[in-house]
Amino acid sequence: MPSRRSHDTLLSRRELLPVFLAGAASMNAGSPEPRPLTLRASDGVSVYAWHYPAAGKRLPAILLFHQAGSNHAEYATIALRLAALGYHSVAIDQRSGGRMWGQSNQTADELGKEVDYPAALPDLEAALEWPPLQGLPPRSIVWGSSYSAALVFLLAAKHPSAVAAVMAFSPGEYLGDIRSANHSVKDAAANVRVPVFITCARDSEEIAAARAIAGAIPGSSAVQFVPKRGGVHGSSTLRPDRNPRGAEENWRAI
């Protein structure tokens, strides 16, 4: 049974989220150089980030959060495509991360110790504070991958006035004891009132985990996309180097 919306319905309900057109040619003109930033989390931790600028400041910023063992480079090609479509984006190094994509995670390296996934929530909150200070719209689109796709629901529930929409790539109950209201993704999703887009790999466990979260979101603001051609874990599903068969299908759905 499809969750919330079928694939066909999702593609027809374009009012739910800004539409990202999938034309590959959009990446060819004037790809911006990312600008390094240093944000400050509420507990004093320096959070290293990269701003991918776009023309104009009318559209909400998109805040890009990586998966476990990863870093901002997960979004190197994705952020360029978003910039070509007019979206400023910020990709951060969360304190829970690592050296994927041939890059170091500066925040995790400087912290010098391993931390659990929920410990990275202040890093996401630091990113959420940045766009309005730059004259961008006060509400941003928050975009998570794997464990950060779980954290974005906690972020949106905690800061409803600062979040315009949620994009969750392979979310699940990754944050510890799901009986804890502080860490339950499903409980947080029940308090999210903005449009939500959820997708995942073509994997029965991932699909079920995403469906459980989508089903907790009130009203009809959540859509779940299950790729037909190809899907991989996390935001990598949009990278042709990781998902050559299905990347464009996933971009069209978004």
Q: List, for residues 166-184, the tens digit of each pLDDT value.
A: 999 999 999 986 455 567 9
- Point out the residues of the chain with pLDDT beneath 70: 1-31, 177-182
According to the model, what pLDDT value does residue 22 have? 35
According to the model, what pLDDT value does residue 16 have? 34
Rounded CA gap, 101 and 91, in Å? 14
Rounded CA gap, 247 and 230, in Å? 7
Fold classified for 7-18+32-253: Rossmann fold (3.40.50)
Half-sphere exposure of 84 (CA within 13 A, CB side): 17
Rounded CA gap, 251 and 95, in Å? 28
According to the model, what pLDDT value does residue 177 have? 62
Burial class (CB in 10 A: 0-12, 13-18, 19+), 112: exposed
How much is the mean pLDDT over the chain? 88
